[in-house]
Amino acid sequence: MVILPYMKHGDLRRFLIATRYGDIPMFVPHQSLLCFMIDIAAGMNYLSSQGFLHRDLAARNCMLGDDLRVSVADFGLSKKIYSSNYYRQKLAIRVPIKWLAVESLSESVYTTKSDVWSFGVTMWEIVSRGRTPYPGVHNHELLDLLLSGHRLTPPEECDQKLYKVMQSCWDKEPNRRPGFGELGETLKGLLSELPVLEASLEASYINQGLEAVSSVAASLEPQTDSGRRWENVYLPAPVAAAAARDEYVEEENGYLKSTV
């Protein structure tokens, strides 16, 4: 049995999408985006130190708590490594194609460094505010593109130093990719180069957006209990509709049945 805390604001991807769509725009400081990444790196560093592979790291599988801290979740594909430092998948299962490392796609091999690759894609998701990686590329086309050297391009407003960190996660040689501990320290270094943002101000920026969208939702839906507190309603109808746009239409939501 695994007992997890209740994460009031739901998954990180939906939160990020809500910052771009909806009637009430939300401003999330760049410092906050880096903090999200640092939290995920810390969680993955602990997971790997205990000998576990996540194998499904993505913004949709990271949860945002009431304190605006991010926790890694969804361990449905995770594996414990015992006698070796890798896991080879043999059975056909649904896997997140666009988040997988090139060696996982080509050789069905998973290591901590393949989780690092997925972390790089998750960083890209965070900076792009929840966009789907490799837009316009079908799952069956991805491996050939990666083998030929293609990688995700930097999102708009992405700092060049941060993009280089992402690129380091996508090195074709797993042993040349940084570990999660190193990634966390690198991201903290980038955060230290930015102006210090007071925690109260950071929370105000985000929570005002959440509260405003909650008010919109409350005005659109009848209340059966006037005293009910609105929870996890930062995703208004326009945001939900955005998930149906071509940008978000994926083969099985990014998963494809495979032996990888």
3-state SS, residue 206: helix
Q: Which residue has the tokens 């499904």?
A: 56
| Cβ–Cβ under 8 Å, residues 148 and 158 | no
Half-sphere exposure of 94 (CA within 13 A, CB side): 7
Question: Between helices 180-192 and 112-127, what is the axis angle to 10°?
Answer: 30
Half-sphere exposure of 22 (CA within 13 A, CB side): 26
56 is catalytic: yes
Q: Tell me the DSSP string of 47-95.
A: HHHTTEE-S--SGGGEEE-TTS-EEE---TT-EE--SSS-EE--S-EEE
What does the buried/exposed string (b/e) look like for 46-76 if buried means 16 or more CB atoms within 10 Å of the residue's CB?
ebbeeebbbbbbbbbbbbbeeebebbbbbbe
Active-site residue, from 11, 39, 56, 115: 56
As annotated, the active-site residues are 56
